[in-house]
Amino acid sequence: MIRTRPSYRDISLYSPPSVPCRVDLSDNTNLFGMPPAAERALREIASSTVTRYPISYAPDLKQALSAYTGFEPSWLSTGCGSDDLIDCSLRAFLEPGEPLAVPEPSFSMMSYFAKVNGLHYSPVPLRKDFDIDVDGLLATGARLIYVCSPNNPTGTGVSRAALERLVDAAPGLVLLDEAYVEFASGSHVELVRSRPNVLVTRTLSKAFGLAGMRVGYAIGRPEVIAELEKARGPYKHTGIAERMAIAALTEGVAWVKARAEEAKESRQRLVAELKAQGLAPLPSEANFVLVPLPGAPQVAARMRELDVNVRSFQGMPGVGDALRIGCGPWPMMEAALQALREARR
Ligand SMILES: *Cc1c(COP(=O)(O)O)cnc(C)c1O
**Is the CB of residue 208 below 6 angstroms from any atom belonging to ligand 1?**
no
Span 240-268, pLDDT tens digits: 999 999 999 999 999 999 999 999 999 99
Confidence check: pLDDT of 15 > 80: no
**Is the CB of residue 82 below 6 angstroms from any atom belonging to ligand 1?**
yes
Atom from ligand 1 closest to the CA of residue 148: 13
Q: What is the mean pLDDT of residues 155-161?
A: 98
The residue to mutate among 61, 148, 152, having the most atoms of ligand 1 within 8 angstroms of its beta carbon, is 152
pLDDT at 1: 83
Q: Are 163 and 187 in contact (CB under 8 A)?
A: no
pLDDT at 14: 80
pLDDT at 292: 98
How many CB atoms lie under 10 A from the CB of residue 13?
A: 5
Nearest to 92 by CA among 169, 173, 11, 208: 173
Q: Please name each of the domains of the chain with its CATH number.
A: 16-33+254-344 (3.90.1150.10), 36-250 (3.40.640.10)
**Is the CB of residue 209 below 6 angstroms from any atom belonging to ligand 1?**
no
Atom from ligand 1 closest to the CA of residue 204: 8
**Is the CB of residue 151 below 6 angstroms from any atom belonging to ligand 1?**
no
**Is the CB of residue 328 below 6 angstroms from any atom belonging to ligand 1?**
no
Q: What is the mean pLDDT of residues 88-117?
A: 97
E-state strands within the chain:
23-24, 76-79, 99-104, 120-125, 144-148, 173-177, 198-203, 216-219, 288-292, 308-309, 311-316, 320-326
**Is the CB of residue 149 below 6 angstroms from any atom belonging to ligand 1?**
no
Confidence check: pLDDT of 25 > 90: yes
CA distance 189 to 74: 16
* Most distant CA atoms of the chain, gap in Å: 60
**Is the CB of residue 156 below 6 angstroms from any atom belonging to ligand 1?**
no
pLDDT at 8: 92
pLDDT at 13: 86
Confidence check: pLDDT of 21 > 70: yes
Cα dihedral 182→107→91→144 (10° resolution): 90
DSSP state at residue 75: G
DSSP calls for 114-151: HHHTT-EEEEEEPPTTS---HHHHHHTT-SEEEEESSP
**Is the CB of residue 204 below 6 angstroms from any atom belonging to ligand 1?**
no
Name the residue with the closest Cα to ligand 1, atom 14.
179
Q: 109 CA to middle of ligand 1, Å?
A: 9
Confidence check: pLDDT of 58 > 90: yes
**Is the CB of residue 75 below 6 angstroms from any atom belonging to ligand 1?**
no
Span 26-43, pLDDT tens digits: 999 999 999 999 999 999
Nearest to 88 by CA among 211, 235, 230: 230
Strands in 76-79's sheet, in edge-to-edge order, are 76-79, 216-219, 198-203, 173-177, 144-148, 99-104, 120-125
- Quick one: pLDDT band at residue 60, thresholds 50, 70, 90? very high
pLDDT at 12: 86
Average pLDDT, the chain: 97
Q: 79 CA to middle of ligand 1, Å?
A: 12
**Is the CB of residue 179 below 6 angstroms from any atom belonging to ligand 1?**
yes
CA distance 211 to 180: 13
pLDDT at 343: 97
Beta bridge partners of 241: none
Atom from ligand 1 closest to the CA of residue 83: 7
Q: 82 CA to middle of ligand 1, Å?
A: 6
Atom from ligand 1 closest to the CA of residue 84: 7
pLDDT at 181: 98
Span 44-56, pLDDT tens digits: 999 999 999 999 9
pLDDT at 185: 96
- Quick one: pLDDT band at residue 17, thresholds 50, 70, 90? low
